[in-house]
Chains A and B, each alone.
Chain A
Amino acid sequence: MFKNPPSEGWLKEAIELEDQFDIALGVELQTDELVGAIPAKIAAVSALPIAFSILMHKLRLERKITVEQLSHELDVDSDQLVKIEKSAGFKPPPRTLQKLAGFYKLPIGALVQMAGAVKKVDPLLARNAVQFAAKSESFEHLNRDERKLLDQFVKLVRDTQ
């Protein structure tokens, strides 16, 4: 085991150097590798849009409604709703976000951040989205742990301005 703590001077130089470059190594992981993966894999991708897709999917499962029923309820094209749930990074139009926010009783401010419609993102939301995305399983039903995880994340999203 290598044990040789760096000096203060070394740390200062290293901080300066690392601030200029993104030191990440290795080929970027794909979205489908991420869902249900260990947290270690999440560093390479931006987790917010993925968390958004998972959240929309899980909330619909929780309500026990189909995409078609939701489409009818919101008067939003079902293709669009499928893309929201299956294609992380798809940016839904503001009208759709507004309708989803209303239906699931979530603040529109948090949803636009997650959907990538705005650049400024609440750091706490971002951090929790990473963990939510990493812990969520890609099953088509919600078990007790999944429901608990979903409830915790929904609470945090609701607290986001």
Chain B
Amino acid sequence: MTQGLMQVNLVQRSRIEPGQHLLYVDRLAAAPWNRGSFGQKKRFRPVGLLLMRHAIGTSLVEGFDGRVGLHSLSGAVRLYQKLSMKSFGPDADHHKLEYFELPADKSYEFLN
């Protein structure tokens, strides 16, 4: 059974290093039973961060040096700050969601 899903694209470019490729995470979600929805205990943890780990790994495999970009929902802003991602503030083109980018030199810190 599917435990979580992530949709990424490889066509966007870095804001930290303009012109460089990065892996952009369009959507990421753990299954409801792995999110503690409906007040129940999570069945598997940490599905979201494992997907994020895979995103960074894929960025490395693609030759993007681990660069990852995403627009955070308000509840997770502090999480991405903790992961040493750089904030570019709310994005008017993206429902005013805050844009974060993981710089290449921080990707190994996340993986280890």
Contact = CB atoms under 8 A, between A and B. Distances in A.
A2 B79 contact: no
Interface residues of B, number: 44
B10 interface: no
A126 B28 contact: no
B49 to A, nearest CB: 4
B5 A23 contact: no
Interface residues of A, number: 36
Contact of B70 (A21, A25, A39, A46): A25
Interface in B19-71: 25-33, 35, 37-40, 45-50, 52-54, 57-58, 60-61, 70-71
A13 to B, nearest CB: 9
Looking at A19, A27, A120, the one whose CB has the most chain B CB atoms below 10 A away is A27
A23 B75 CA distance: 8
Contacts of B5: 40, 43
A14 B53 CA distance: 10
Contacts of A24: 28-30, 35, 48, 73, 75-76
B45 A18 contact: yes
Nearest to A7: B112
Nearest to B71: A25
Given A19-B45, A24-B73, A26-B29, A121 B35 contact: no
Nearest first, the 5 closest Cβ-Cβ pairs linking A and B are A2-B57, A23-B48, A26-B27, A43-B29, A18-B46
